[in-house]
Structures are given as structure tokens and as C-alpha cells.
Structure 1
């Protein structure tokens, strides 16, 4: 059985689920937001069990023996759905922690093929760690300063001669934060850095941007002609208008990216890079759950099929 941990509004998950269904695969969409109110789990352990641990999950869609799960796509897990009638914040936090402990214990008891394992993904999503791993993999990274010191931030910006970008560690659908070029009139605002650390980097001039999707041993590079748009710092500002084309990578860059994936313990990753006007490839970041449908739509690269192929291959086993 193939498990996709996401939700019905995630178009990436539903696209792959449809592909799996069309191929006759036994695949289930599992939404953590349905637990514990709409979904129940039953974990049985003891000397008389047929297995070390028996895990049964009952949802609106049916009852499943999670011991049969052979492949998991850890796509976009949501937070548990707590009872709205539970008014006490202390009680809600206790209930959430209990759900978290039970479900994470359940994940650790499973022995499927993970895309990606949640613990590896958690570590790989940390941008500081990514930069270290990228350097170790032989990739060039921008000069970077991550700090909550206004003085250190100001000194770094000054050293870059007015070519500094800043970005956040995280964002949500409701509070999305693009990468921005630090303008002179914003320098007094650096005092606010005391409240939370910010990522400052030297701005990398681009011939074009790259989004490179890696799934197992398959790699799908695409060039994004971001410099044809009026906002040249972050291609996502013009994601619906920017031209995107398939491309190839130099062997050394591809080898470095595969080394990066191995170091981070990832099976899937969406990597952002820039190619400078001088022809140098610069690593910016990797998203272990990054989007790829916009790349597939623009380039025709069969990314959904590649995800499905990988899951089916490991579901069927050797």
C-alpha cells in the first residue's frame, strides 16, 4: 500500500494520487487534520501479536492495516484537528502533545520507503544546515550573514556595497515572504532584526534562475527567464508570467546536487539556483516539499509520473 500524507486541497498530492489510481496502485490519501476527531488509530503490542507492533487506522474512507504500507510520500502534512469545544489552552496543548507522541511513534514503527523521511526532511529544511551541506557537496553559495544583531546586519550590508538581499526562514500561504533587495531607505529598519534573526545574502546577478527537481535518481532541470521581468530578485513574483524551459546541467553541477541530496538524506528535493552572467552556478536553497506542477506545466517534464513510478516501484518491492 502507498500512503500519501497530505490533504484533498493539495493539487500535487491529488495529481499523483490520480496517476497511481490510473495504474491500479493501492494508494491512500491520509490527512493528519482529520485526527483525532475523524480518524482513529489502534496500536497493539504484546507477546501474542503476530507482529511486533500492529497498527490499524480507521478513516472515513475505510480501515487500513498500516503494516501493509510499503511506500510513503510525506507531502504536505497538516496539524492535528483539535476539538473546538475544548476551551482550555492547557487542555488543548496536552491533547495535541498526546496526538503528536502517538502518531510520531506510529511513523517510527513503520518500515516503508519514505519520500522523504519526516525526520530527514525536518533537518534538511533548515536553511543554515542546507548551506553547510551545499558547501560540502562542492556547490558555490552566496556570501551569507544570518543574525539578530542590527550592528552585524548593517556591517554585512555595507560590505556588500548595496547589493544585499534578505529573506525569512519560513512562510505560509497566508503570509508569503519573497526575497527582497535591501534598499537604502530600509537601513534604519535593521533595528527590528533584534526581534528575530534574518537571512542576509550577497545579491547574485543572474543570467537566469533554475529550478531543479530531483526524484530518486531522476533529475529535471528547468531554466526560468526571470531577468526578462521587472522584478529580477525573486522569480516567484511573476510565477504565472515568467518563461520556463527545460535545460541541462554541467556534469559537475549535477554531481554536486546528487551529493547534496545524499548528505541531507533526501529522496525528493526542489532546488533553486542562479546562473550568473559569467556562467557560474550558485546554490540558493532546497525545499524538501517544494512545488513542481508549475514546472511540469511549462516544460512538459513528467514529474508527476516520476513520483508515481518511484512509489509504485517500492510498493511492489524486489
Structure 2
């Protein structure tokens, strides 16, 4: 009988969530090969052949060599991306493209591999309009939402649906005037604050939910972990010290909709955020296909690290 192959873990060096999962896998005797796409080509190499049986070959780090044909699962977390600082700008651009479509294409095509999640499916699910449309189709309730570059449309929406918040459609690295990295926060917006600058790019506006609490629902394979988050914050991610966590059961219909949403994007993991209004209704806000979750285990006692290890070890169904 063929020995089960390793778990590949693709992430950056500073990823405490991944550290916990790899420790759990090692404790079970499950081999794991961790690397960052930023390691290529300095300390990471690969040689892959395309055969009638799929991808064969090896991927080599300074301490491990993985048989690509035998990889049991790939945990795609938060790699830093390809960089070629020793090359001039034009050559580096070419090299990054070749790496992305070469190594990236190989990693996305491994035979008999469970992806948590597949990088292409992550890309699909990160588009907020696509996620909101899929949420409606899955049966979730969403707040009235507008995506626009029209100042007039934005002002009309705010007047009709106020109070309204602004949300970034994505969260790339943003630096302030002092060069300090920060995030663009969710914020209240009034009609008289909207000016012609809205026409400069796309914006997402959404009716504010009159919240009693928030909920983070983490789906890991067939396991669902639901945590109520209490605070007085518009965006609970702005101050974790003010949060109170309580494990709860989701309302009827939510679990079915969770799995329908993930099936739509062909994902096996998702970190869902909901707002719970003062009447107890749950409103879908977003699903992050690469979201954080491990900080919730010590706060709640929920066995989430073990669940992720089970999934990667392929002890559970998906």
C-alpha cells in the first residue's frame, strides 16, 4: 500500500495560525512541507513533468523534498508573493510572470490533492460583489448594497438607505504619510460627505445593520464553529481587547447556506462574518476564503486546530 504523502503548506514566515496546524500535524506523525512563494528561486526549487497520470516530480526546500504526485493536501494560506530584487524592473516583471504561471500552475494542478483552499478558487471568492451575489443565492440575508463609481448614485443610496457605511472592496497593503502600514477601515458615511472623488474608482456602500452583536462562523471541511462576538464597535476588528466571545449554535438554515456558499466557489474552508441585529436576525457581511481563525480557540475552547489538521490529514469528509 502506498504511504500517504506530505501536506504542503504555502504561507509567509510570520503565520502563527500555520505554526499551530503544523505542530498538530507533526504530533500526529503527518509529514508537512512548508514554504513561501517568496522563497523561490533562492531556497526553493522544483522539477515537474506533465504525464498521462498528471503532474510528477519534486519540490525541494532547504530541509524537505516533496513528491508532487503524492501530495495529500495543500494548505494555501498567505504567501508573500514572488520577488526578484536582484533583477532590473523589466526583467523582474518577466521573471515574476514565469514563476506565477510555472510554479503556480504546478501547485494548482496536483493530482489527488485536497486544496484548502485552491488558489484559483480563493481568487474567485475574494471579489466582494461575487461573494454577495453568491450569498443571496445560498439563502443568506444581506443589507442593501451599492457598488459604484457614481457620486450621484452614492448620494441617492445614502439618502434612501441611511445610515450607511463604506467598505473597501479589497484590502491591499496601504501606507500612511509616514510610511506606516495600515488598513482602510469600515466607516460611517453621510450624503454630504460624498464628493466627485467617488468617480475616481469603485466603492462599496452598504446599509448599516442595527447590531446587537457580530458572529464569526468558521467552516473547516464538514465542521462548523460559530462564535458570537460582543462589542460596541462598528468594526470589531479594530480593537480585539474590547471583544467578548461566546460559542453559539447558528440559527436554522444558516448551516445549509454556509455549505451552499462554499460549494458555489468550490471551497472547503471559509471564515464568515455576520451582523446580528436587535431582533436576532443574521445578516451576511462577507466570507474570507483565507481568513484568520486560530485566535478563537484559546478564547472559546473550540477544537479548531484539530479540525484543520483532520481536514489536511484527510480524516474527514468535505
Normalized against structure 2, the TM-score is what? 0.90
Listed as ranges, the matches of 1:67-82 within 5 Å are: 67-82=69-84
Q: How many angstroms apart in 1 are the aligned matches of 2:286 and 2:156?
A: 24
1:221 to 219, 222, 226: 226
Q: How many angstroms apart in 2 are the aligned matches of 1:46 and 1:274?
A: 49
Is the CA contact 2:186–2:235 (under 8 Å) kept in the aligned structure 1? Answer: yes
Listed as ranges, the matches of 1:220-239 within 5 Å are: 220-227=225-232, 232-239=233-240
Q: How many angstroms apart in 2 are the aligned matches of 1:313 and 1:79?
A: 27
Any idea what the Cα deviations from partners look like across 1:39-93, whole Å, max 9, x if unmatched? 111123469xxx55422122111322211201111111221131x2212x21111
Displacement of 1:183 after TM fit? 4.2
Corresponding residue for 1:171? Answer: 171
Corresponding residue for 1:267? Answer: 268
Listed as ranges, the matches of 1:14-163 within 5 Å are: 14-45=19-50, 52-82=54-84, 84-87=85-88, 89-111=89-111, 112-161=113-162, 163=163
Q: How many residues align?
A: 304
Corresponding residue for 1:208? Answer: 213
2:187 to 169, 180, 196: 180
Q: 1:113 to 1:156 in 2, by over 3 A?
A: same
Q: How many angstroms apart in 2 are the aligned matches of 1:130 and 1:223?
A: 22
Q: How many angstroms apart in 2 are the aligned matches of 1:101 and 1:198?
A: 30
Displacement of 1:156 after TM fit? 0.8
Q: How many angstroms apart in 1 are the aligned matches of 2:262 and 2:222?
A: 10
- 3-state SS in 2 of match to 1:25: coil
Q: How many angstroms apart in 2 are the aligned matches of 1:53 and 1:25?
A: 22
Corresponding residue for 2:177? Answer: none
Is the CA contact 1:70–1:314 (under 8 Å) kept in the aligned structure 2? Answer: no
Q: 1:164 to 1:178 in 2, by over 3 A?
A: same
Q: Which runs of 5+ in 1 are unaligned?
A: none
- 3-state SS in 2 of match to 1:207: strand
- 3-state SS in 2 of match to 1:279: coil
Displacement of 1:264 after TM fit? 2.0
Moved more, 5-14 or 136-145: 5-14
Is the CA contact 1:8–1:14 (under 8 Å) kept in the aligned structure 2? Answer: no
Q: How many angstroms apart in 1 are the aligned matches of 2:109 and 2:254?
A: 37
Q: How many angstroms apart in 2 are the aligned matches of 1:235 and 1:285?
A: 14
- 3-state SS in 1 of match to 2:241: coil
Q: 1:52 to 1:116 in 2, by over 3 A?
A: closer
Q: How many angstroms apart in 2 are the aligned matches of 1:212 and 1:241?
A: 19
Query: RMSD of the TM alignment (CA)?
Result: 1.9
Q: 1:156 to 1:213 in 2, by over 3 A?
A: same
Is the CA contact 1:4–1:74 (under 8 Å) kept in the aligned structure 2? Answer: yes
Is the CA contact 1:55–1:106 (under 8 Å) kept in the aligned structure 2? Answer: no
Q: Which runs of 5+ in 2 are unaligned?
A: 1-5, 174-180
Is the CA contact 2:144–2:161 (under 8 Å) kept in the aligned structure 1? Answer: no
Q: How many angstroms apart in 1 are the aligned matches of 2:309 and 2:228?
A: 24
Corresponding residue for 2:245? Answer: 244
- 3-state SS in 1 of match to 2:107: helix
